[in-house]
Amino acid sequence: MPPIVIVGSGLAGYTLLKEIRKCDTTTPVTLVTADNGAFYSKPNLSNALTAGKTAAALASASAEKMAAEQNATILTHTRVTAIDTQGQRIRIDSGELDYSKLVLALGADPIPHGLSGEGAAGVLAVNDLADYVAFRNAIDGKKRIAVLGGGLIGCEFANDLAHAGFAVDVVHLGGWPLERLLPVEAGQRLADSLAALGVNWHFGRTAKSVEQTTDGYQVALDNDEKIAADVVLSAIGLRPRTQLAQAGGIPVGRGIQTDRLLETGAANVYAMGDCAEVEGLNLPYVQPLMVQARALAGTLAGTPTPVIYPAMPVMVKTPAHPVAVLPPKIGAAGGWKVECSDTGVCALHTDEAGRLQGFALTGTETGRRNALAKEVAT
Ligand code: FAD
């Protein structure tokens, strides 16, 4: 019997491997990964300076250690280049590999920044440990960092860098940070707190080009304002890795489409984590992939277990002014009711009947997130 094959050694792939091993210590499992397979927690990349961690310290176990601990075969620096869903095999750099079940935990790619200029190739993005090593090397001994994008990842890096003493400019198309998740009052409070830490905001703007200068880069905005920077970090978003599945004839939308059992349109092929679109929902956060891993381990062990998400608030790691958000479902009727105090903002999204559908909390109000999450109808 061929092994269960997991593709990807991010939190999705490794959490699934650990969940499988909790109930089944013997079924052969092979994990294939394009990177070095080191285990790390990706959320730590955007607060490692504040935590006093070097890039190397973020990897808590090597692939060899994970393979020994989880009784699995781990093929590192090995890219899957094709899936034959009929023959139940994948193509890898060194040949072919049969599978009994295949789990795609491929993650997401940074959205290309599309900037012009001779400095554009030097713009960095941080989406894995190797990127982070490059980023830490680039900022070493430098002072001025331009961050493109004021979403979750951009805000977290801005906070981390400003706290560590860097001069930070953030260029953001929206009128306030995280504008798709937060009502204006909550976003403005976050913006003000980061500004108090030294972050220089450029709202309603996009970067057009990046030129190299004698001492770094010059970022030109769409209003022709120029920002001088030593390092430019793009944090404009991620998009699920779907190409491999699509080329194998597996249906994709925003992500690789699955049902609640995480099964794709191809028999015995599953998807989870940032690459997956589970019944129309792509949730690129840690808690959903943990729920998926537990359910899928049950399904792979022979007990079909649908994914049922609890209410899952997302914490934005901005210690200057923390944020907890549980967005209402897309298209939800109703509206925000916002209360502001000196120490935080509490915004509740309710429907016409007054039922809580989501919330955005900042500052001291974030302490209410678990209690409120229990009230939200899932
Ligand atoms: P990834 O970690 O991207 O792993 C994908 C794996 O697939 C990699 O090992 C890659 O090498 C492999 N791979 C891809 N293609 C192939 C191929 N063809 N062949 C072989 N291997 C392949 N979420 C939160 O909930 N809270 C937070 O505070 C938070 N902070 C974040 C901070 C940052 C800076 C970032 C970038 C994300 C953050 N997130 C946070 C999101 C969260 O980290 C992700 O949802 C999660 O780590 C995704 O894990 P994954 O395993 O799906 O993807």
DSSP character string of 156-200: HHHHHHHHTT-EEEEEESSSSTTTTTS-HHHHHHHHHHHHHTT-E
Of 204, 234, 264, the one marking the end of a domain is 234
- 119, 104: one domain: no
Whether 203 contacts 221, CB under 8 Å: no
Give 5's strand partners: 30, 102
Can you give the pLDDT at residue 378? 60
pLDDT in tens, 268-326: 999 999 999 999 999 999 999 999 999 999 999 999 999 999 999 999 999 999 999 99
- CATH no. for residue 336? 3.30.390.120
- 212, 163: one domain: yes
pLDDT in tens, 59-80: 999 999 999 999 999 999 999 9
C-alpha 24 – ligand 1 centre gap (Å): 25
- 76, 125: one domain: no
The yes-or-no verdict on residue 86 having pLDDT over 80 is yes
- 119, 224: one domain: yes
Can you give the pLDDT at residue 332? 82
- 269, 207: one domain: no
Whether 46 contacts 157, CB under 8 Å: yes
**Protein residue closest via CA to atom 18 of ligand 1:** 80
In a domain, 316, yes or no: no
C-alpha 126 – ligand 1 centre gap (Å): 11
Q: How many CB atoms lie within 10 A of CB 56?
A: 11
> Token digits for 323?
């944020």
- 142, 230: one domain: yes
* Angstrom distances, CA of residue 34 to CA of 10, 209, 225: 10, 31, 40
In a domain, 315, yes or no: no
Can you give the pLDDT at residue 276? 98
C-alpha 282 – ligand 1 centre gap (Å): 13
- 140, 187: one domain: yes
Can you give the pLDDT at residue 377? 65
- Looking at the structure of the chain, the number of domains it has is 3
- 118, 230: one domain: yes
- 118, 86: one domain: no
Look at the pTM and tell me if it is higher than 0.85.
Answer: yes
- 59, 142: one domain: no
In a domain, 266, yes or no: yes
Evaluate: CB of 13 within 6 angstroms of ligand 1. yes
Give ∠ CA 55-59-237 in degrees, rounded to 5. Answer: 65
C-alpha 105 – ligand 1 centre gap (Å): 9
Residues listed for the chain: 378
pLDDT in tens, 134-169: 999 999 999 999 999 999 999 999 999 999 999 999
pLDDT in tens, 165-219: 999 999 999 999 999 999 999 999 999 999 999 999 999 999 999 999 999 999 9
- 116, 229: one domain: yes
The yes-or-no verdict on residue 53 having pLDDT over 90 is yes
Q: Is 321 exposed, middle or buried (0-12, 13-18, 19+ CB in 10 A)?
A: buried
**CA nearest to 226, candidates 242, 210, 204:** 210
In a domain, 314, yes or no: no
The one-character DSSP state at 316 is E
Average pLDDT of the chain to the nearest whole number: 96
In a domain, 305, yes or no: no
**Protein residue closest via CA to atom 3 of ligand 1:** 107
3-state secondary structure at position 36 = coil
Percent of the chain past pLDDT 70, that is, above it, reads: 99
Atom in ligand 1 nearest the alpha carbon of residue 80: 19
- CATH no. for residue 82? 3.50.50.60
SS (H, E, C) 51-68: CCCCCHHHCCECHHHHHH
pLDDT in tens, 120-138: 999 999 999 999 999 999 9
In a domain, 306, yes or no: no
Q: How many CB atoms lie within 10 A of CB 104?
A: 32
Alpha-carbon span 254 to 293, nearest angstrom: 20
Give ∠ CA 82-84-85 in degrees, rounded to 5. Answer: 130
* Angstrom distances, CA of residue 176 to CA of 129, 206, 314, 366: 29, 13, 18, 19
- 163, 58: one domain: no
Range of the domain at 40: 4-109+238-300
In a domain, 35, yes or no: yes
In a domain, 310, yes or no: no
